[in-house]
Structure 1
Amino acid sequence: MSDVQTWIKDTVTQNPVVLFMKGTAQFPQCGFSGRAVQILKACGVDNIVTINVLEDQEVRQGIKEFSNWPTIPQLYVKGEFVGGSDIMNEMFESGELQSLLKA
């Protein structure tokens, strides 16, 4: 496992909610990342750890390999990969995401 893969693994396992995104929660750099932050806030999650993949090309590529998922944003809850903004939106609408975040 490369250094970046180890760092990603440590980050997602040591924090309850981690969002790998383009930009920051305050200044998302793409619509999908912005939507992901809005969904988490709507679920009442305040302690989101966000990782701006635009700041580090290794992390940007590494997270895609880590999850075997080609797009950003990517949500992790308690170390488990949940999905991107479309999956988050579907789970939010069904109530599944709220249950997962409260568990």
Structure 2
Amino acid sequence: MSDANSRITDVVTSNDVVLFMKGTPLFPQCGFSSKAVAILEHCGVGFESVDVLQDMEVRQGIKAYSDWPTIPQLYVKGEFVGGSDIMMEMFEAGELQTMMDEKKVAKA
């Protein structure tokens, strides 16, 4: 397993919710990452973020890890959920909050 792959696995498995994004929650560097942060904050859950702009190996590695071509990417309890569009669809349908509750994700 590559170094980037093992670092991704470590962060995904050691946190309830992980958002791989461009920038940070306070300073998102793209509109999709900003939307993803807003959704998670509205759900009221704590989450870890990984700024893929700080590490090119992780930026490319996360795409192979999830077999998903775009960033941001959301993981809940080790499971890949999707990108910002999927997050928005799930949020609007009430499915994202239900998932967080069912998986007993810690509140922020």
- Do they fold alike, i.e. is TM over 0.5? yes
Unpaired runs of 5+ residues, structure 1, are none
In structure 2, what is the equivalent of residue 83 of structure 1? 82
Unpaired runs of 5+ residues, structure 2, are 103-108
RMSD: 0.6
SS in 1 for 2:58: helix
Q: Distance in 2 between matches of 1:102 and 1:35?
A: 21
Q: Distance in 2 between matches of 1:70 and 1:84?
A: 9
How far off is 1:10 after superposition? 1.3
Q: How many residues align?
A: 102
Q: Distance in 2 between matches of 1:101 and 1:28?
A: 23
In structure 2, what is the equivalent of residue 96 of structure 1? 95
Matched to 2:88, the amino acid is N
Q: Quick one: percent identity of the two aligned structures?
A: 68
Q: Distance in 1 between matches of 2:51 and 2:39?
A: 17
Matched to 2:40, the amino acid is L
In structure 1, what is the equivalent of residue 12 of structure 2? 12
> Which residues in structure 2 correspond to 1:25-44 (within 5 Å)?
25-44=25-44
How far off is 1:102 after superposition? 1.6
SS in 1 for 2:40: helix
Q: Distance in 2 between matches of 1:40 and 1:21?
A: 13
Structure 1 stretches of 4+ with a deviation exceeding 2 A read none
